């Protein structure tokens, strides 16, 4: 993982960045329904868990666009990671709490899925807020609220006006107009991400869901490395 500092004097986004970070501090959230009809059917028929498939889709699109990988370093300087990995939540039904676990991103779904399964085996039953130690700095957050099909979701982060990375929240999927739709919310910082970029993100997520046959493996319960 490498962090690349941005040359502010030659950054076309400089006036927007400075305006929304220093003058009118602004984050915003957007929620949209992803049609997962095809993805759900294919993942079930091939013995693949849906949650890691959705996480893979999100991290794949995040890594396509520098706007979703831009943040501040320890000295407050803007830059971007060359690659991001997901930090996601797991629910513990035993005591109704959750844990945060991270899995290193891999471009090939089989490899990412196996890494996800290995992390579940090692840390899935660890009932701590941070179940897996040594989380790297190039991670972003994904959570899930599978009990509610919400139409909007907003996070309120105290003193979070300098947090630039996206935060994703999934909801409960259900059938609407003959299709299975999953609500997905993303919270972003306007200093680095405009409506165009979030719109593009949702568009590409839908494309991945529709083309899942191209990246999901064949019928199997687990592909060994």
Active-site residue numbers?
190
What is d(CA 191, CA 17) in angstroms, rounded to the nearest whole number?
Answer: 4
Separation between Cα atoms, residue 41 and residue 76, nearest integer Å:
45
186, 187, 190, 194 alpha-carbon torsion, rounded to 10°: 10
List, in sequence order, every residue forming a beta bridge with 130; answer none if it has no partner. Answer: 100
**Of 95, 98, 64, the residue nearest 81 (C-alpha):** 64
Q: Which two tokens stand for residue 176?
A: 């609407």
In this structure, what token pair is assigned to residue 186?
């993303």
Beta-bridge mates of residue 167: 141, 187
- Please give the Cα distance from 118 to 225 (Å, whole number): 11
**What span, in angstroms and rounded, lies between the C-alpha atoms of 116 and 56?**
10
Burial of 46 (0-12, 13-18, 19+ CB in 10 A): middle
């Amino acid at each position: 993982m490498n962090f690349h500092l941005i040359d502010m004097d030659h950054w076309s986004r400089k006036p927007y960045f400075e305006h929304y970070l220093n003058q009118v501090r602004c984050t915003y959230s957007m929620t949209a329904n992803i049609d997962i009809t095809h993805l759900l059917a294919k993942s079930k028929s091939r013995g693949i868990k849906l949650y890691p498939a959705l996480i893979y889709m999100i991290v794949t699109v995040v890594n396509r666009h520098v706007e979703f990988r831009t943040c501040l370093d320890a000295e407050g300087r803007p830059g971007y990671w060359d690659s991001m990995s997901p930090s996601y939540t797991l629910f513990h039904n035993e005591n109704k709490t959750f844990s945060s676990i991270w899995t290193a991103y891999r471009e090939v779904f089989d490899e990412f899925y196996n890494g996800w399964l290995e992390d579940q085996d090692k840390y899935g039953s660890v009932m701590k807020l941070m179940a897996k130690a040594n989380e790297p700095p190039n991670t972003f957050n994904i959570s899930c609220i599978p009990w509610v099909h919400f139409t909007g979701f907003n996070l309120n982060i105290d003193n979070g006006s300098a947090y630039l990375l996206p935060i994703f929240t999934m909801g409960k999927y259900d059938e609407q107009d003959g299709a299975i739709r999953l609500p997905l919310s993303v919270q972003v910082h306007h200093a680095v991400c405009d409506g165009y970029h979030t719109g593009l993100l949702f568009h590409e997520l839908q494309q991945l869901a529709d083309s899942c046959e191209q990246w999901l493996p064949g019928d199997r319960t687990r592909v060994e490395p």
